[in-house]
Amino acid sequence: MDADELAGRMRQGEWFHSLRLLPGAWAVLRVDGRGFSRFTQERFEKPFDPLFHRLMVRTASTLLEELQGVYAYTQSDEISVLLRPDASLFDREVEKLVSLSAGLASATFTHAAGVPAVFDGRVWLGADERAVLDYFTWRQADGSRCSLQGWCYWTLRKEGLSAAQATRELDGKPVAFKNELLFQRGINFNELPLWQRRGSAIFWERYVKEGVDPRDGSRHQTTRRRLGVDSELPMKEAYERYLRAVLARSTPEPR
Ligand SMILES: Nc1nc2c(ncn2[C@@H]2O[C@H](COP(=O)(O)OP(=O)(O)O)[C@@H](O)[C@H]2O)c(=O)[nH]1
Ligand SMILES: [Mg+2]
């Protein structure tokens, strides 16, 4: 048996291995907790637990660093990491990027939480900045909608309704109805913490570090970068402006 021939033939079975992110396209790697409705039920406060969100922010920070992204956004049990069109990590191999995102998220969250948790992964491609703004506006709007729904659902459950009853009570109801439902019970949705309604962002920021040369005591300054977290995000048009600034800062500096 010719070992090289066998290896070549078998490698053909790795059919998707050659799949790459479209050259010149923006990409977002998104991971989502698997079965987290159940996973969170016994372990975290409902509908929102600051500890759970902190674990998600920590996981998002690791993904942003390891995947060499420019921006990460997390709401509920999902994380999106934005890669620039010129990103070249793993030669833009889709299998590698998607599987690694899910693996990193699962390992980081599990390690921080102390209980096994699993994430799935997928990739989104966008042709231009406009598409990127739309993507993040979409995820934020989804988070906001789920936040209102979650608050209503758990408020009814805590009043003694069964899962089926609470779901039926809210089925097909407009936003105004849900806001009013909470308001009647002394909860003003618009005054709940912003991270619950809009999610959190993780980004790179530059800072100046002052150092002293031990040889001659001279002072010098260097620019470093570190991760910043924003849990008070703006919405809609203001969020678009916010994102535009993030994208402008992410442009590689001319040499
Ligand atoms: N208890 C609790 N659950 C949360 C929190 N954030 C997200 N979740 C849960 O995570 C789930 C995420 O939704 P989804 O991905 O559609 O559900 P999955 O398919 O079960 O993972 C929601 O149903 C929430 O129940 C939190 O802060 N506390
Ligand atoms: Mg999930």
Of all residues in the chain, the percent with pLDDT exceeding 70 is 98
Closest CA relative to residue 78, chosen from 130, 122, 26, 132? 122
CA distances from 175 to 54, 125, 136, 145, 152 (A): 28, 31, 21, 8, 11
**In this structure, what token pair is assigned to residue 98?**
């998607």
Residues β-bridged to residue 204? 227
CA of 75 to the centre of ligand 1 (A): 10
The pLDDT assigned to 57 comes to 98
Instruction: Check if the beta carbon of residue 179 is closer than 8 Å to that of residue 191.
Output: no
pLDDT at 226 over 80: yes
Q: 173-194 burial, b if ≥16 CB within 10 A, otherwise e?
A: eeeeebbebbeeeeeebeebee
The pLDDT assigned to 252 comes to 67
Q: Any idea which residue has 């231009």 for tokens?
A: 128
Residue 26 CB coordination number (10 Å): 22
Which atom from ligand 1 is nearest to the alpha carbon of 34?
21
pLDDT at 43 over 70: yes
**In this structure, what token pair is assigned to residue 21?**
């992110």
pLDDT tens-digit profile of 60-105? 999 999 999 999 999 999 999 999 999 999 999 999 999 999 999 9
Domains in the chain, please, with CATH? 20-198 (3.30.70.3000)
Binning pLDDT at 50, 70 and 90, where does residue 251 land?
confident
> How high does pLDDT run on average in the chain?
96
Average pLDDT over residues 40-52: 96
The pLDDT assigned to 91 comes to 97
The pLDDT assigned to 1 comes to 77
Pocket of ligand 1 (CB under 6 A): 32-33, 35-37, 40, 44-46, 48-49, 52-53, 76-77
CA of 208 to the centre of ligand 2 (A): 39
pLDDT at 255 over 60: no
CA of 208 to the centre of ligand 1 (A): 39
Which atom from ligand 1 is nearest to the alpha carbon of 46?
1
Average pLDDT over residues 121-139: 98
In this structure, which amino acid lies at residue 220? Answer: H
The pLDDT assigned to 254 comes to 53
Binning pLDDT at 50, 70 and 90, where does residue 121 land?
very high
| 3-state SS, residue 38 | helix
pLDDT tens-digit profile of 192-220? 999 999 999 999 999 999 989 889 999 99
CA of 148 to the centre of ligand 2 (A): 17
The pLDDT assigned to 174 comes to 97
**In this structure, what token pair is assigned to residue 162?**
């069964």
Closest CA relative to residue 143, chosen from 192, 91, 200? 200
The pLDDT assigned to 253 comes to 56
Nearest-angstrom CA–CA distance, 174 and 70: 36
